[in-house]
Amino acid sequence: MTLDHLLTNLSPVINPGEYVFISITNSEMIAQEEIVASIIEKEGRSVIISRDYAESVGLQYQYVAAWITLEVHSALDSVGLTALVATALAEYEISCNVVAGYFHDHLFVPLDRSEKALKILHQLSQRRKI
């Protein structure tokens, strides 16, 4: 799949809710069905969960994000998609934390900049359609 095809069919959508990143050392602290994504680091397990859930179980967090899914089916060996997306958002000083799923890429952007991020991603996709 070409980069042009991926960008033309980006189809970004904001998932409902607010999401936070936390680090835990005991994975039993969190119900597995509440985890959106996780990775094990040497300092502990980083997990992304809903803000509502984090608050309901008393977990501390610092960063609140919106979750944008790029609905284009991207391959794990695609080259350049996340770089172009992150660069487009960086031009507007919007941080972008990317998680690659098997079928889609998922972006976690600051909650208060999510609508701007979505607009930028739509514009990026539209430029490729011209």
State the average pLDDT over residues 103-124.
95
Quick one: which of 52, 88, 104 has its CA closest to 96?
88
Coil, strand or helix: which one is 36?
strand
Q: pLDDT tens for residues 48-90?
A: 999 999 999 999 999 999 999 999 888 777 877 899 999 999 9
Q: Is the pTM of this model over 0.75?
A: yes
Q: What element of type H or E holds 80? A: none
Where do we find the tokens 């970004």?
12
Res. 128 pLDDT band, cuts 50 70 90: low
* CB contact at 8 A, 19 and 50: yes
- Residue 5 phi, psi (nearest 5): -60, -45
State the average pLDDT over residues 3-12.
84
How many of the other CB atoms lie within 10 Å of CB of 80?
Answer: 12
Mean pLDDT of the chain: 91
Show the tokens assigned to 106.
């998922």
State the average pLDDT over residues 4-31.
88
Show the tokens assigned to 7.
């960008």
Show the tokens assigned to 34.
């509440």
Q: Domains in the chain and their CATH numbers? A: 3-129 (3.30.2130.10)
